[in-house]
Amino acid sequence: MNYDLQNKNISEGIDLCSVSAEGFKTACASLSFVMPLGEKASLYALVPNVLTRSCKDYPDVTSIEKKLALLYGAEVIVDVSKVGENQVLKIEVSCIDDRFSIDGESITNECLKLLFQMIFEPRLENGVFCSDDVESEKRLLAERLIAENSDKRTYAKNRCVEIMFENELYGIHRYGTVGAIEKITPEALYEAYNEVLNNSKILVCISGGNFSNVEKLLAEYTSHKNRNIELNETLYVEECEDSKYMKEQEAVKQGKLVMGFRMGMKSEDDNYAARRVMVDLFGGSPHSKLFTVVREKMSLCYYCSAMMFRQKGVMLVQSGIESYNEEKAKNAILAQLEDIKNGNFSDDDIASSVKSLEDGFRSVSDSAESVANWFTTQVCSKEFLYPEDFIEQFKKVTREDIIEAAKAVTLDTVFMLEGTAEGGVEE
């Protein structure tokens, strides 16, 4: 699908990203705040959740839900993520495109108005957020974090990240901690909200639809504020000299082995295409070495895959194993990486990885929401790039590029969650 991107700086620290495409049946508008990741992570993570519960014109959850229903079932979504050493707080509203409304109603502009009202006109109680809203969202956020830790695959990944980045801000969870969440008061949260308004980088992204009033609303709600942008520079550690190892035990059937690698990157753009193809060839798809050799041929893992975090220059390998196979699995994973360093892969392997990445990146254009999400992830990047820009880079990657990328990889951290329970497979 062909679509057009326009990026406009509205004022200091405020950008508007507009994506238009005729093929979208839905429209999407989001506003993202970028804040430095740190000790206030839990406070900042709670802000967008509380904002979507009510606002001045719609004073409770029920009235907001009724309004969304009138807007042809529009939906509000909150997302909190990490981009390097910064925290991204996003509130998004999606709806049908105006072309499909009755009598030409401007659904998109109404949705955009609601989005801005929720963010900039919150319902207050004695000058701060309503205590009932705060307590409800505290409970939900804490439950979300607890649920993550209850999923042992996710828990193992998070623990590896914590250990690997124990001296870096990236080691902080995007939601902070349950303990920090429980201590939040309406007063502290409202103070954090004002910090977000005044000190964040803001990206408004609209995709599909006809959001003709977006610049007017932005000016109305932000032009009077004296903003002081405070963000963290992302720290890139190119290699690791001494790797770390930690083991924990849980009463689970299946052990979880997670290995964290430094990729030798100095920035997010440092030979990214070659490194991404290398990661896919190593463990990013069903044709990869980790899947075909370690999982299928050697039968050492129930699952085994690699993922890359571009904004931090690292790679994680996650695997589910029988705990007694820990050393065999670890050695087998490292052996596949050595294979790539030694050039033991075919041109067909390269072509399969490039095709896999191409298919994944092209799927971005499947909906207005996915396009908006794509450009939102680039909120901290130097420039906005289309998926097609990356695809063209992947196609130019050579065998030598892949070998060079693999040789720059060093093992940083190994985390093993040892299963102590009897039984069969546990994903």
Which residues, at least 6 apart from 34, have a Cβ–Cβ distance to it below 8 Å? 83, 86, 87, 88, 89, 200, 201, 202, 203, 231, 379, 380
Tokens 């964040």 belong to 200
Same domain, 381 and 282: yes
Does residue 256 sit in the same domain as residue 322? yes
Domain boundary among 222, 254, 284: 222
Q: Could you read off the pLDDT of 304-354 as tens digits, one per residue?
A: 999 999 999 999 999 999 999 999 999 999 999 999 999 999 999 999 999
Q: Is the pLDDT of residue 423 over 70?
A: no
Going 329 to 335 to 339 to 340, the CA torsion angle's sign is positive
Residues 206-247: tens digit of each pLDDT: 988 888 899 999 989 988 777 889 899 989 998 888 899 999
**What is the amino acid identity at position 142?**
A
> Average pLDDT in the 364-368 region?
84
CA angle, residues 136, 139, 144, in degrees to nearest 5: 125
In 3D space, the residue among 322, 309, 298, 295 whose CA is nearest the CA of residue 260 turns out to be 309
Alpha-helical runs (H) found in 261-379:
272-279, 289, 326-341, 347-362, 368-376
Statement to judge: residues 283 and 186 lie in one domain: no
Side by side, the strands of the sheet bearing 201-207 are 4-11, 14-20, 201-207, 26-36, 86-96, 75-83
Query: Averaged over 268-290, what is the pLDDT?
Result: 95
pLDDT at 425: 44
Residue 27 belongs to some domain of the structure: yes
What's the CATH code of the domain at 252?
3.30.830.10
pLDDT at position 83 is 93
- What average pLDDT does the segment 38-42 reach? 97
* Listed residues 190, 222, 254: the one ending a domain: 222
CA–CA separation, 163 and 167 (whole Å): 9
User: What span, in angstroms and rounded, lies between the C-alpha atoms of 112 and 118?
Assistant: 10
CB atoms inside a 10 Å sphere around CB 41: 23
| Per-residue model confidence as pLDDT tens digits over 148-206 | 999 999 999 999 999 999 999 999 999 999 999 999 999 999 999 999 999 999 999 99
Residue 427 included in any domain = no
Domain check: are 10 and 107 in the same one?
yes
Joined tokens for residue 196: 């977000």
Q: What size, in residues, is the chain?
A: 427
What average pLDDT does range 5-34 have in this prediction? Answer: 87
Are residues 352 and 212 part of one domain?
no
Note whether residue 234 is domain-resident.
no
Q: Are residues 217 and 285 in the same domain?
A: no
Check whether residue 210 and residue 336 sit in a common domain: no
What pLDDT is stored for residue 422 in this prediction? Answer: 65
Looking at residue 208, its pLDDT comes to 84
- Are residues 299 and 205 part of one domain? no
Residue 47 included in any domain: yes
CA–CA dist 281, 345 (Å, integer):
9
How much is the mean pLDDT over the chain? 93
SS3 of residue 177 by DSSP:
coil
Is residue 315 included in any domain, yes or no? yes
Contact yes or no for 267/236 (Cβ under 8 A): yes
Pairing outcome for strands 4-11 and 14-20? antiparallel
Q: Which band of pLDDT confidence, cut at 50, 70 and 90, is reported for residue 424?
A: very low
Rounded to whole angstroms, how far apart are CA atoms 393 and 372? 22
Q: What is the largest CA-CA distance in the chain?
A: 67
Judgement on whether residues 139 and 269 belong to the same structural domain of the protein: no
Residue 427: is it exposed, middle or buried by C-beta count within 10 angstroms (0-12/13-18/19+)?
A: exposed
What does the pLDDT read at residue 158? 96
pLDDT: which is higher, 337 or 9? 337
Both 217 and 248 in one domain: the answer is no
From 162, 191, 222, the end of a domain falls on: 222
Whole-number pLDDT of residue 315: 98
Local confidence band at 2 (pLDDT 50, 70, 90 cut-offs): low
Residue 406, classed as helix, strand or coil, is helix
pLDDT digits (tens, 9 = 90+) for 279-288: 999 999 999 9
Does residue 237 lie within any of the structural domains? no
Q: Please give the radius of gyration of the chain, using alpha carbons only, rounded to the nearest integer.
A: 23
Specify the DSSP element, H or E, that contains 60: none
- The residues pairing with 29 across neighbouring beta strands, listed in sequence order, are 93, 206
Domain assignment of residue 239, yes or no: no
Q: Is 216 helix (H, G, I), strand (E, B) or coil?
A: helix
- Do 8 and 45 fall into the same domain? yes
**Do 128 and 164 reside in the same domain of the chain?**
yes
Tell me the residue range of the domain where 275 lies: 244-419
Number of structural domains found in the chain: 2
pLDDT in tens, 78-132: 999 999 999 999 999 999 988 888 877 889 999 999 999 999 999 999 999 999 9
Assigned domain for 228 exists: no
